[in-house]
Structure 1
Amino acid sequence: MGTRLKVLSVFKTLHRTRMEVFKDDHRALTAAKLKINEEFRKNKNETLEENINKMIKAGSDVEIVLRQTVLQMEHVGDNSLMLRPRESLLLENVPYCDQPRKKS
């Protein structure tokens, strides 16, 4: 895949992830959109392949961090927050067991 296509792919992926991670939070959606666009615009004249590949890697890493670690919470009272996890962050809850399972 060409460098230009890689850059566009990371740009689109970041925006898709932003839409999923900050769903229904207009302030965070706008801030993330502005930051993504600003960073890409700031580096649009970069020509060194090595630097471009580093920035592609950084953008991909940011997307992974957003997708895997950011949780939404909202205020529901003076001292209360409600957690709104995405389906992709919910894991199967396996109870702890002192006895190891026997291999068949």
Structure 2
Amino acid sequence: MLKMGTRLKVLRVFKALHRTRMTVFKDDDRALTAARLKINEEFKKNKNETSEENVQEMIKMGRAVETILRENVMQAEHIGEKTLVLRPRESNLLDNMPYCDAPRKKT
């Protein structure tokens, strides 16, 4: 039997994955459905796991997946045969350091 704290952690990861899915795949019903089915399938497949160590590893994996989805996945839509429109979220937009061709002077 798992500790109550562990059960809460599992539930938090489950909810975080679904919230992230809703943001990352916003307005894409096909991707939303596929992600929902995959998340639910993985949690159902492992719902009878009793090893605390294995559950902790799965929690780490779930958090890593949520982070990857949130930070690295970007929506794109075909609008023509050879044209895509990217729809970055605010979290995908990073400040870039300006590039400088001039070599640095050694001090």
The two structures share one fold, judged by TM-score above 0.5: yes
Q: Provide the TM-score with structure 1 as the length reference.
A: 0.90
**Partner residue of 1:12?**
15
**Partner residue of 1:88?**
91
Q: How many residues align?
A: 100
Aligned amino acid, residue 26 of structure 2: K
Q: Provide the TM-score with structure 2 as the length reference.
A: 0.88
Residue 99 (structure 1) shift:
6.5
Q: How does 1:26-41 map to 2 (within 5 A)?
A: 26-41=29-44
Q: Which shifted more, 88-97 or 20-29?
A: 88-97
Deviations 1:79-100 (A, max 9, x none): 1001110111101233223366
Q: Separation in 2 of the partners of 1:80 and 1:54?
A: 41
Q: Separation in 1 of the partners of 2:61 and 2:99?
A: 37
Moved over 2 A (4+): 97-100
Residue 73 (structure 1) shift:
0.3
Q: Separation in 1 of the partners of 2:46 and 2:95?
A: 41
**Partner residue of 1:51?**
54
Residue 46 (structure 1) shift:
0.6
Aligned amino acid, residue 8 of structure 1: L
Gaps of 5+ in 2: none
Gaps of 5+ in 1: none
Match of 1:72 among 72, 75, 84: 75
Residue 69 (structure 1) shift:
0.9
Match of 2:65 among 62, 77, 93: 62
